[in-house]
Structure 1
Amino acid sequence: MTEPKPNTPLILPSTSRNLPDFKKSVKLKYVKLGYHHLITHGMYVFITPLVFVIAVQLSTFSLQDLYDLWEHLQYNLISVIICSALLVFLSTVYFVTRPSPVYLVNFSCYKPEESRKCTRRMFVDQSRLTGIFTEENLAFQRKILERSGLGDSTYLPEAVLNIPPNLSMKEARKEAEDVMYGAIDELFAKTAVKTKDIGILVVNYSLFNPTPSLSAMIINHYKLRGNIVSYNFGGMGCSAGLISIALAKDLLQVYPNSYALVVSMENITLNWYFGNDRSKLISNCLF
């Protein structure tokens, strides 16, 4: 008897091993960008060559050819109906697929009371009174302030200006309400837009994300309509403002004949750093 051979699995050579790694050879972000432009402007990409071909063909026609074509259309009802239907179809496709225009009605920036104004010297003096920062780090913060572009007309929340600072969730929520409602009230006064006309609400706050959300606070405070489309962004940094505008623009394509309210802000009360790590002190002097 022959000794039975052990069962060995049959492994077929994978064809993928012979293919190039497209993730390394191709910049996928450029492929995605090209695909986005192709889909967005697809109608123009396909219609432009067609119009060019028709224009070239018509350029070869003589006056007699055009007269014969007109005579043919006059006495051929089917051709007239087909051409008219095609023209109506193309016009409908154009008006349906083209993006609706989006306009900026107005904007508003919140300006606090004069009592919250904090000069650079006042900032350094109050930081010294906390007894937390070393003299070296106070000098470091003073240097950053001079180069940051913040002037002597910068404002801080009451909780940070207090000695000692009163950092709490209540004070952080109060700061958020002051900024949100102050800017929105001024905006409504400028535009005379009714709160019930707001169909889209986009709020972005990077570091402060309480429950209930800030978008819910705005909806309840202004009694916005029940079917409003609301978004609340958090933790997205400085890019959240641009993303919010882009999102509002896209949503207005889906919900035309409406108003979008975009609220972009930041909260300082609970995000002030009290320590001597210089890498973290920079944020105190920039925002």
Structure 2
Amino acid sequence: MVFNYLTTHRLKLCFLPLLVAIAMQASRLSTQDLHSFYLSLQKNFTSLTIFSISLILGWTLYIMNRPKPVYLVDFSCYLPPSHLKASVKKIMHHVRVVRESGKWGKSDENEYLMDFVTKILERSGLGQETYVPEGLHCLPIEQSMVGSRKETQEVILGAVDTLLRNTGISPSEIGILVVNSSTFNPTPSAGVIAIDVAKSLLQVHRNTYALVVSTENITQNLYVGNNKSMLVTNCLFRVGGAAVLLSNISKDRKRVKYKLVHTVRVHTGSDDRSYGCATQEEDEDGVVGVTLSKDLPMKFFNPKIKHYMPNFKLAFEHFCIHAGGRALIDELEKNLHLSPLHVEASRMTLHRFGNTSSSSIWYELAYTEAKGRMKKGDRTWQIALGSGFKCNSCVWVALRNVKASADNPWEECLNKYPVEIDI
């Protein structure tokens, strides 16, 4: 606690010795000294006036141009309807039917690949109640553009409607809109980048709100080929989305949940291995899928180099690590020296909702709120990873004891969590 206080108030503490020295020097002045000082001021009134005006103008310019605080008013995560839940058994049945009815048919290779997918699913960390879009529940599956649009529309409108209802904000009051999508977009990106873009826009457009929408779309991305690295994506990605309302309006500070402290964006796409760690492409048979590199979880941790790792537990009370997969969470937990409690929100989000891409960090923050763990002054570090390779960070500080908003996605199942994840 002492370390945190010294870090937070370091600038104020630096000026303390100067103020003490001035006070001590002033206490030594005699009446004669003060009288001489007064006469000197009278003689240099013009210079003093010019100095004062310059000081006032400089301070005014600073106040007008300093970065405006950015607040998180509230956020909401999309909870799909129950009929879109898909157990491992149901997913495997659909995949088997699709493959056997296609050009692959019944073969030893097909059975081998089905066993491979089953093992991946069993070890993925995903539970039995994740969601897949309506088109993938059908037999034969419907992977049309119409189906993709329907999935995106339901996710976005569901999350945004809940957010506007909870905040009481009218759409006409929102001056900035930032939307990032995953594979249903030629340039997929991470949710924290969208937050950073909104933050920059809020420095230009004063006294307004910014709506950030992060979503995933998987209707057209069920891979049915024979490439094992592409089959892995079928075992991870699920339906999900989040809507986040940001504000730079000073009076909103009394009702908002968090203040944005830092955003950091890192992109290592100049390295070929980073650039190709997650790519959508055709396999050798012309079937489109997403290839995930095996070294994706280790992108920032070279085992041959001993890195200095700060104790991040002193700087943050909560961690929201992108629920990209079990291996990724394992690696970050180990390399950042975190405890099981610190990654609980990430593991439970992966279990309950799967990898919802850029929105996963918001399901994790919703979990922390639902558990009643977010206290005034707590700092949260959101870590989002994306193709390219991108690693983006966002730091929030709670301005009050935060309670879960209405229609929190965890409210129906919170009593079940945390659950034990089988190894």
What is the TM-score of this pair, normalised by structure 1? Answer: 0.67
Paired residue total: 214
Query: Per the alignment, in what secondary structure is the counterpart of residue 234 of structure 2?
Result: helix
Residue of 63, 69, 92 corresponding to 2:29:
63
Equivalence for 1:104 = 72
Q: CA deviation at 1:81?
A: 0.9
CA distance in 2, matches of 1:170, 1:91: 56
Q: CA deviation at 1:185?
A: 0.6
Structure 1 stretch 261-270 or stretch 54-63: which is displaced more? 54-63
Equivalence for 2:235 = 285
Query: Does the 8 Å CA contact 2:95/2:224 hold for their aligned counterparts?
Result: no
Equivalence for 1:251 = 201
Matched to 2:73, the amino acid is V
- Two-structure CA RMSD over aligned residues (Å): 2.8
Query: Per the alignment, in what secondary structure is the counterpart of residue 220 of structure 2?
Result: helix
Does 2:187 match 1:235?
yes
CA distance in 2, matches of 1:147, 1:256: 48
Q: CA deviation at 1:203?
A: 0.7
Q: Deviation string for 1:82-108 (max 9, x for gaps)?
A: 232132023113212310000001111
Equivalence for 1:266 = 216
Does 2:60 match 1:92?
yes
Equivalence for 1:125 = 93
Q: Deviation string for 1:119-171 (max 9, x for gaps)?
A: 11211122112225722212211222223222111001110111110111111
Does 2:139 match 1:163?
yes
Equivalence for 1:29 = none
Matched to 1:235, the amino acid is T
CA distance in 1, matches of 2:199, 2:115: 45
Matched to 1:72, the amino acid is S
Structure 1 stretch 142-151 or stretch 104-113: which is displaced more? 142-151
Matched to 1:255, the amino acid is H
Q: CA deviation at 1:236?
A: 3.1
**By percentage of residues, which structure has more strand?**
2
Query: Per the alignment, in what secondary structure is the counterpart of residue 202 of structure 1?
Result: strand
Query: Does the 8 Å CA contact 1:73/1:79 hold for their aligned counterparts?
Result: no
CA distance in 1, matches of 2:184, 2:94: 24
CA distance in 1, matches of 2:222, 2:138: 13
Q: Percent identity among equivalent residues?
A: 45
Query: Does the 8 Å CA contact 2:182/2:188 hold for their aligned counterparts?
Result: yes
Equivalence for 2:111 = 135
Q: CA deviation at 1:256?
A: 1.4
Query: Per the alignment, in what secondary structure is the counterpart of residue 211 of structure 2?
Result: strand
- 1:142-161 alignment runs, 5 A limit: 142-161=118-137
Q: Deviation string for 1:36-85 (max 9, x for gaps)?
A: xxxxxxxxxxxxxxxx9999899877515555334422454313312321
CA distance in 2, matches of 1:56, 1:102: 36
**By percentage of residues, which structure has more helix?**
1
CA distance in 2, matches of 1:67, 1:143: 89
Distance 1:236 1:69, change over 3 A: farther
Query: Per the alignment, in what secondary structure is the counterpart of residue 90 of structure 1?
Result: helix
Structure of greater Rg: 1
Query: Does the 8 Å CA contact 2:94/2:139 hold for their aligned counterparts?
Result: yes
CA distance in 2, matches of 1:54, 1:79: 25
Matched to 1:100, the amino acid is K
Residue of 158, 163, 166 corresponding to 1:182:
158
Query: Does the 8 Å CA contact 1:168/1:270 hold for their aligned counterparts?
Result: yes
Q: CA deviation at 1:242?
A: 1.2
